Amino acid sequence: MTKLTRRNFIRLAGAGAATAVLAACNPNSTNLTPTSPGETPLPATLPPATLPPPTAVPSADFVPDVEIALRAVEDTAVIFPNVNTNVWRIQGELLQGDAHTLQPVPDSYLGPTLRLRKGQKVRIHFTNELPEESIIHWHGLHVPANMDGHPQYAVGSGQTYVYEFEVLNRAGTYWYHPHPHGRTGPQVYAGMAGFFLVSDDEEDAANLPSGEYDIPLVLQDRRFDDNGQLVYLGNGMMDQMMGFLGNQLLINGQPDVTLPVAARAYRLRLLNGSNSRIYKVGWEDGSPFTVIGTDGGLLEKPVERPYLTLAPAERIEIWVDFNGRSLNSELKLVSLPFTTGEFQSGQFPVLTVHIEREATENVALPEKLSSPNFFAAADSERTRTVALLMQGGWTLNGRTFEMTGVTDDETIPLNAIETWEYVNDSAGRGMGMGMMNMSLPHPMHMHGESFQVIERQINASGKAAWETLSEGFVDEGWKDTVLVMPGERVKVLRRFGDFTGLFIYHCHNLEHEDMGMMRNFKIV
Ligand code: C2O
Ligand code: CU
Ligand code: CU
């Protein structure tokens, strides 16, 4: 993978450009916010919960093509020069399989990038060496219920969970992160996440830029104290209700990143790995984007967008050809101003691309990328409605997460194809939280198979804010997370195939999720 370099480093103590602009997102803050007495440095642990028995030993009748050990550990990372920042991270070791399966991300707290192929059988030993329980979820992957990292399978300190599954997904940019109930936000924030890239024959046939020309980039915002240590939930209840926002953007775990490129075509895979921040990604010079993929892999054909709206957990893949750009020129990726109604985001830098060398060869953008094999709206067997409601805290249809609790209206016959409608237009219907009676965007995520976004409706009160982001939605591809803006109703269509058992759907604003804006659905 191409090494990212640091330039124009911003000293922690003297709020530089990136920090100042990020901070401007918060109207009350004009520069880097120092740690206030009430802020809790990581890690903060919860009292131990009652744990299910550790998982069984690997099964004898599962023959893996790839075997990996992942360990969640307390460690340090160098994010700023001469500062060791305490992080929690996932370390990996390839036990069996092709060497390229596991690629460490240099100079980063990120877990290794896992590269697998559709059809491969994978065994992963996850060992938790943290002082609290954890479990890993393969975000976007279609795996059996007990291999999905459901919070009920969280393992305690010193315990191991063994995953065995076949990679059934089409080629795409998936990722992995912890999923213990109530602690997903702090664990992801502390550094636990990694890419899970799947390839297949269809992707090979598209002849896309590969190797060093295929670059996964994760956007994450963080907040640091004067000692360069991560700070989480400094504003307590308010951060939980709104979602936690940092004031320092990190790309693949580093601040102020410059990406050196050759003057040729690249495939950039963008993942929003932030707890709650939404990005409106644009080229500073106004160039449009050529989008080739979403959460669940390649689009049928490339589409153009003026900017990219990237909500937490969403992925967008772009094709960008630097051919024709002059040597040593720079191109800047920024997050453009937008509003969600409640919250205004100003412009801030994301990444600088530096065209540092000529290319010896190039590839052409294919007209056709893949056959997504979408369902038709007429395939839908029923419609379920999920209201996103503030009722003391964030809820789904007025309910919060129960470890194994599930209702009739969350019980789905195996292999059913259904429409789920997420409704976020209930402003004013919330119960008595005074100033907390707010309307916020919610990135809704469903475990299991991917979905199509088949309809969006925005009401009059939400329209102005919606229009500051809506041209950046990419609804042409398979997705597993969809942003539902204030005043909006979004219908998604999907199959609930192959595996029975308990899976979850939730808001991927991790503070909302931890607060219980998450429910089981049960496939029977
Ligand atoms: Cu990315 Cu339920 O998670
Ligand atoms: Cu997921
Ligand atoms: Cu939410």
150 lines ligand 1 (CB under 6 A): no
Q: Which residues pair with 490 in a beta bridge?
A: 422, 456
Please tell me the distance from the alpha carbon of residue 180 to that of residue 481, in angstroms, as a whole number: 19
Contact 149, 135 (CB under 8 A): yes
Please tell me the distance from the alpha carbon of residue 322 to that of residue 342, in angstroms, as a whole number: 37
Residue 350 CA to chain centroid, in angstroms? 16
Q: What is the DSSP letter of 39?
A: P
Give the model's pLDDT for residue 335.
98
377-523 CATH choice from 3.30.2130.30, 1.10.340.30, 2.60.40.420, 3.40.1160.10: 2.60.40.420
Give the model's pLDDT for residue 488.
98
179 lines ligand 1 (CB under 6 A): yes
315 lines ligand 1 (CB under 6 A): no
Please tell me the distance from the alpha carbon of residue 509 to that of residue 276, in angstroms, as a whole number: 5
Which protein residue has the closest C-alpha to ligand 1 atom 3? Answer: 139
CA dihedral 508, 514, 516, 517 (to 10 degrees): -20
Sequential pLDDT tens for the chain (524 residues) = 333 333 322 222 233 333 333 433 333 332 233 333 344 444 444 444 444 444 555 677 899 999 999 999 999 999 999 999 999 999 999 999 999 999 999 999 999 999 999 999 999 999 999 999 999 999 999 999 999 999 999 999 999 999 999 999 999 999 999 999 999 999 999 999 999 999 999 999 999 999 999 999 999 999 999 999 999 998 888 899 999 999 999 999 999 999 999 999 999 999 999 999 999 999 999 999 999 999 999 999 999 999 999 999 999 999 999 999 999 999 999 999 999 998 999 999 999 999 999 999 999 999 999 999 999 999 999 999 999 999 989 999 999 999 999 999 999 999 999 999 999 997 544 444 444 457 999 999 999 999 999 999 999 999 999 999 999 999 999 999 999 999 999 999 999 999 999 999 999 999 999 999 999 999 99
Give the model's pLDDT for residue 309.
99
Please tell me the distance from the alpha carbon of residue 418 to that of residue 496, in angstroms, as a whole number: 8
Give the model's pLDDT for residue 55.
52
* Residue-level length of the chain: 524
Whether 210-357 and 377-523 share one fold: the answer is: yes
Q: What is the DSSP letter of 443?
A: E
CA of 161 to the centre of ligand 1 (A): 18
CA of 263 to the centre of ligand 1 (A): 36
Residue 314 CA to chain centroid, in angstroms? 5
CA of 416 to the centre of ligand 1 (A): 22
Q: What is the pLDDT of residues 326-357, one digit of tens each?
A: 999 999 999 999 999 989 999 999 999 999 99
66-199 CATH choice from 3.40.50.720, 3.90.1170.50, 3.40.50.300, 2.60.40.420: 2.60.40.420
pTM of the model: 0.90
Give the model's pLDDT for residue 21.
36
A 10 A CB-CB count for 201 gives 10
Give the model's pLDDT for residue 437.
56
Give the model's pLDDT for residue 38.
40
CA of 332 to the centre of ligand 2 (A): 31
Atom of ligand 1 nearest to the CA of 481: 1
313 lines ligand 1 (CB under 6 A): yes
Contact 319, 267 (CB under 8 A): yes
> What's the topology of domain 210-357?
Immunoglobulin-like (2.60.40)
Give the model's pLDDT for residue 103.
97
Give the model's pLDDT for residue 61.
86
| Domains of the chain by residue range | 66-199, 210-357, 377-523
